[in-house]
């Protein structure tokens, strides 16, 4: 069952069009990857889905309800949650305060303690640094806080933009293990990721974006075995 349906969406910034007639679906409990080169529209699509950008045309359906024109705040409260590229934490606030900000909606507040314990268990390093200012943490630790903040919002859809950007290979492996665990626990995830090989290895379905359009889609295995993808993105 599709929990999110993006239908024929076009979008951009000012008068500059970035997306052209894009359609995609997220199946409940599945991990979907969106891959492609830099500047092709992946982040713009995520920002449009969560309401930071208004689509020029097309529609966005969430659990069978149209949410195309809802604000980002309202969509987040409904459960469409973005972990943005570059983390965008409040660096002069503590780890705990950043996590607390994630649980702003009534339904997230109602389960605050349970969700906090889950984040602690998933990221033990976070629990050890609750009173540390996030601006003094390493990039990997900040990414853990950013994902933890997203989980505190009790997402129905967790969208993660560039999980591994700038991180060491060891930390990347740790974070991808967390994604596999979340998938196993039934989370619906949309992942934008520069590490195409790892993204395809852990996801169920994948979309390849090029020049603001969906160039290719299919199961991750099908996409990984596509000759064009192998040459252009996997170097095979």
**Which domains can be identified in the chain, with CATH numbers?**
1-79+155-170+179-221 (3.40.50.300), 89-142 (no CATH)
**How much is the average pLDDT of 203-232?**
94
Which residue has tokens 């390849």? 208
pLDDT higher than 70, residue 236 = no
Which residue has tokens 């492609």? 36
Per-residue pLDDT, 194: 87
**How much is the average pLDDT of 91-103?**
94
pLDDT higher than 70, residue 199 = yes
b/e map 161-181, b = 16+ CB within 10 Å: bbbbbebeeebbebbbebbee
Per-residue pLDDT, 102: 92
**How much is the average pLDDT of 169-178?**
89
**How much is the average pLDDT of 166-184?**
90
What are the two backbone dihedrals, phi and then psi, of residue 172, each rounded to the nearest 5 degrees?
Answer: -60, -45
């Amino acid at each position: 069952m599709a929990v999110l349906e993006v239908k024929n969406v076009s979008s951009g910034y000012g008068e500059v069009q970035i997306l052209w007639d894009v359609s995609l679906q997220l199946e409940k409990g599945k991990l979907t990857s969106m891959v492609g080169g830099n500047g092709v529209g992946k982040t713009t699509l995520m920002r449009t889905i969560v309401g930071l950008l208004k689509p020029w045309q097309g529609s966005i359906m969430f659990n069978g309800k149209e949410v195309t024109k809802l604000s980002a705040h309202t969509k987040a409260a409904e459960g469409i949650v973005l972990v943005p590229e570059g983390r965008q934490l409040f660096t002069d606030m503590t780890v705990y305060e950043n996590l607390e900000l994630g649980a702003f909606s009534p339904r997230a507040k109602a389960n605050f303690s349970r969700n906090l314990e889950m984040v602690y268990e998933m990221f033990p390093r976070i629990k050890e640094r609750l009173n540390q200012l996030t601006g003094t943490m390493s990039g990997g630790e900040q990414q853990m806080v950013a994902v933890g903040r997203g989980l505190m919002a009790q997402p129905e859809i967790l969208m993660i933009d560039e999980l591994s950007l700038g991180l060491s290979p060891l930390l990347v492996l740790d974070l991808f293990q967390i994604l596999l665990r979340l998938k196993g626990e039934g989370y619906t995830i949309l992942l934008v990721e520069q590490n195409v090989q790892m993204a395809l290895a852990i996801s169920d379905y994948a979309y390849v974006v090029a020049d603001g359009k969906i160039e290719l889609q299919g199961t991750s295995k099908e996409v990984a075995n596509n000759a064009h993808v192998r040459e252009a993105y996997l170097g095979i």
